[in-house]
Structure 1
Amino acid sequence: MTDPRRATALSHTPLYSLAKELNARMTEFSGWEMPVQYSGITHEHHAVRSTAGMFDISHMGKFRLTGKTVLAQIQALVPSDLSRLQPGEAQYTVLLNDQAGIIDDLIFYYQGIDPDGIQQWVAIVNAATTNKDKAWLLNHLDSTEVSFQDCSTDRALIAVQGPSAIAKLQTLVTEDLSSVKAFGHLEGTILGQPGFLARTGYTGEDGFEVMVPPEVGVELWKALLTLEVVPCGLGCRDTLRLEAAMALYGQDIDETTTPLEAGLGWLVHLDSKADFIGRPVLAHQKQNGVQRRLVGLQMQGRNIARHGYPVMANGKVAGIVTSGTQSPTLGQPIALAYVPTEFSKPGQPLEVEIRGTSYPAIVVKRPFYRRPPALSF
């Protein structure tokens, strides 16, 4: 008999065949067959930290929103004040439910207003929540006012990250990429074809995420290979983002966690915003404090704290590890965990239970890694 769990075929990005040609080790991720590694997670990780690496992230959700009232309508769905954005700027934020739980984290890119007064927006969301996010947005946006286009399968998306990433990418792009600030973006020309380029990423390094038609994505990947940009998989994407203390949806944040609990208070703009979904809960937490916080943990030894492991304080279970790994850059185990606020200050000693034995850990400031400032001559 056929295993019903295998009845649904996995989706493939436009770059799938190129990954197979490079003998990438593949894995299932949110209904997609994706490369987990090419030359090895540690090698790929160090390549991004030292030179440049590239990731196929075409599986992520890609939406375009147009209309005269887009801003007013999406303002009601997020805690961040999107009215601050100028054309060519973007905001990392979260969609919230009524209890201020995080439906997803995403980036809204504001492209400006055309001569007819039509606002142009792009939203990039997580692959695992693309359908959920689409349904949520369509349910809350006025379809007579806002045009919603799902471009998720119509575009390739490639992240080029690392100290040398922009210099290498610049050789393929007409526009001056150095003029684009962090979280800036533009419609540019890459390999002679139009493309969307954003100075964003999920690694803690500088770089761009490039959205282009599938056939251009294939040519871009090949061109970057000739420039010795290292192909990278989901494995090192996870170790890189964890060193940078960037939340992973479904592990570090979800519909049971609020942005204030998750250390994302910097994207909650209560003072400059009117009503939005989840505001009463956040206002209460802001005034009275949260009961738990997401903290960084550094293990005091070689044992690795993994997702789901209990965090102990005074011999009792106090919290839970959400993400953990051996940091290739720091050479020691690091983790994120939710703990009661009273145990959340840096320097707080805790323990993590690993297979029935408790091992010492200490709360440390996040991020675990911060890229060195660029040198100027």
Structure 2
Amino acid sequence: MKQTSDFGFGTQIRKSPYFDATVRWGATAFSVYNHMYIPRDFGDPERNFWNLVNDAILCDVSVERQVEIAGPDAARFVQLLTPRDLSKMAVGQCKYVLITNAEGGLLNDPILLRLEKNRFWLSLADSDILLWAQGVALNSGMDVTIREPDVSPLQLQGPKSGEVMKALFGESIFDLRYYWLREVELDGIPLVVSRTGWSSELGYEIYLRDGSRGDDLWERIMVVGQPFGLKPGHTSSIRRIEAGMLSYHADADSDTNPFELGLDRLVNLDMRADFIGKNALRRIQAQGVKRRQVGLIIGGAPLTGPNTRFWAITKEGQTIGKVTSAIHSPRLGQNIALAMVASEFTTIGSMVDVVTNSGPIAAQVAECPFYDPKKSLAVA
């Protein structure tokens, strides 16, 4: 059995409340996300994918660090951070939002949770939004308190996750709607549960509100989940690329705007409320974008893992873009990728070349998402 001392990036990288439990349950490698350890290997990634899509997996995603925004002006301040219209967001609701800078660039794409009228959490992708929000608040003139609470999420994802949740919390958990949350307790452990997750499968996120109970919570879920085929796991690159889900720093960064990503639905330029980047996004919308995200189907032998650098995309010798995330999907029997290419080369079905580590390979521009585009599995 691996010992926790076998892993070490130094004391500057934080361990989650589930760290020791994940090692006991078979985690063999970690990477770093939001200055924290995240388990990235419980064995064969393809086996992890099949565990996810056929049964259920439990993932330590404490790296989705929470930024709590509370106070009399919390709702107005949160709206300042995002171009998505939040005027009808109810208490108990979750929303996928974008956080943009003054130039309209993407700083993060978190899930926003509204716990109370004047209290929100941002459940983050991989960037320091706590510092950004505190900086914005400094001269905003708004009455808000911004901090990182003692909150550590797990993801329970897969078609049998609902049955595991029922065994843990009872039949009433099925009343929880997609992108809504509920405050609950389990054996005296304080939690928030939401119908969300980074998998595009049926799934839940379980937010632990007392870091001292991490080991208890992990073990309780795994024991209850065993009859349903629950396995320890990690977020699946295969499944998230099939679903066209963004990975920040790979598929988007501060130089990428929502229109390039096809996320126009998350930008409301007509609402009365102001937000950071509004003028820039108006200008970008009026001018149009010079590049867009597309899906690619890449030929050749099955990729043995994700790309570790951005592969150039060429057309008749001209560089027209880059592959941001690529993987082999065993379900689709294809190499699939997310890519950013010049707008004039985004026609579905058109052919390009991808310059991989082993040389140029022909690829076809494809519809994205590649699988279950209407998210019927997650919403069910």
State TM-score, norm by structure 2: 0.88
Q: Which residue of 1 aligns with 2:151?
A: 155
* Paired residues of 1:160 and 1:208 also in contact (CA < 8 A): yes
* Paired residues of 1:311 and 1:319 also in contact (CA < 8 A): yes
Alpha-carbon distance in structure 2 between the residues aligned to 1:225 and 1:145: 42
2:332 maps to which of 330, 333, 345: 330
Q: CA deviation at 1:301?
A: 2.9
State TM-score, norm by structure 1: 0.89
1:80 and 2:84 aligned: yes
Alpha-carbon distance in structure 1 between the residues aligned to 2:170 and 2:357: 55
RMSD of aligned C-alpha atoms?
2.3
Alpha-carbon distance in structure 2 between the residues aligned to 1:175 and 1:50: 22
Which runs of 4 or more aligned residues in structure 1 lie more than 6 Å from their structure 2 counterparts after TM superposition?
none
Q: Cα 1:171–1:311, aligned 2, differ >3 Å: closer, same or farther? A: same
Instruction: Tell me the alpha carbon deviations over residues 274-325 of structure 1, each in whole angstroms, 9 at most, x when there is no partner.
Output: 3321112221222332110011111133254834110011221110111111
1:205 maps to which of 201, 204, 215: 201
Alpha-carbon distance in structure 1 between the residues aligned to 2:276 and 2:371: 33
Q: CA deviation at 1:273?
A: 4.4
Q: Which residue of 2 aligns with 1:116?
A: none
Alpha-carbon distance in structure 2 between the residues aligned to 1:375 and 1:92: 14
Tell me which moved more, 67-76 or 200-209: 67-76
* Paired residues of 1:175 and 1:189 also in contact (CA < 8 A): no
Alpha-carbon distance in structure 2 between the residues aligned to 1:51 and 1:221: 18
Q: Cα 1:175–1:211, aligned 2, differ >3 Å: closer, same or farther? A: farther
* Paired residues of 1:78 and 1:95 also in contact (CA < 8 A): yes
1:18 and 2:52 aligned: no
Identity %: 27
Q: Cα 1:9–1:73, aligned 2, differ >3 Å: closer, same or farther? A: closer
Q: How many residues align?
A: 360
* Paired residues of 2:68 and 2:148 also in contact (CA < 8 A): yes
* Paired residues of 2:17 and 2:213 also in contact (CA < 8 A): no
Partner SS state of residue 169, structure 2: coil
Q: CA deviation at 1:173?
A: 1.6
Q: Cα 1:364–1:208, aligned 2, differ >3 Å: closer, same or farther? A: same
* Paired residues of 1:175 and 1:188 also in contact (CA < 8 A): no
Alpha-carbon distance in structure 2 between the residues aligned to 1:80 and 1:211: 24
Q: Which residue of 2 aligns with 1:172?
A: 168
Instruction: Tell me the alpha carbon deviations over residues 218-241 of structure 1, each in whole angstroms, 9 at most, x when there is no partner.
Output: 2222122222211112xx522221
Q: Which residue of 1 aligns with 2:361?
A: 359
Q: Cα 1:42–1:272, aligned 2, differ >3 Å: closer, same or farther? A: same
Partner SS state of residue 236, structure 2: helix
Alpha-carbon distance in structure 2 between the residues aligned to 1:42 and 1:238: 10
Gapped regions of structure 2 (runs ≥ 5)? 1-7
Letter in 2 for 1:319: G
Q: Which residue of 1 aligns with 2:231?
A: 230
Residue correspondence of structure 1 range 228-307 to structure 2 within 5 A = 228=226, 229-233=230-234, 236-302=235-301, 304=303, 306=307, 307=309
Alpha-carbon distance in structure 2 between the residues aligned to 1:262 and 1:183: 22
Alpha-carbon distance in structure 2 between the residues aligned to 1:33 and 1:240: 21
Tell me which moved more, 271-280 or 259-268: 271-280
Q: CA deviation at 1:261?
A: 0.6
Alpha-carbon distance in structure 1 between the residues aligned to 2:10 and 2:379: 53
Tell me which moved more, 294-303 or 361-370: 294-303
Q: Cα 1:239–1:256, aligned 2, differ >3 Å: closer, same or farther? A: same
Q: Which residue of 2 aligns with 1:316?
A: 318
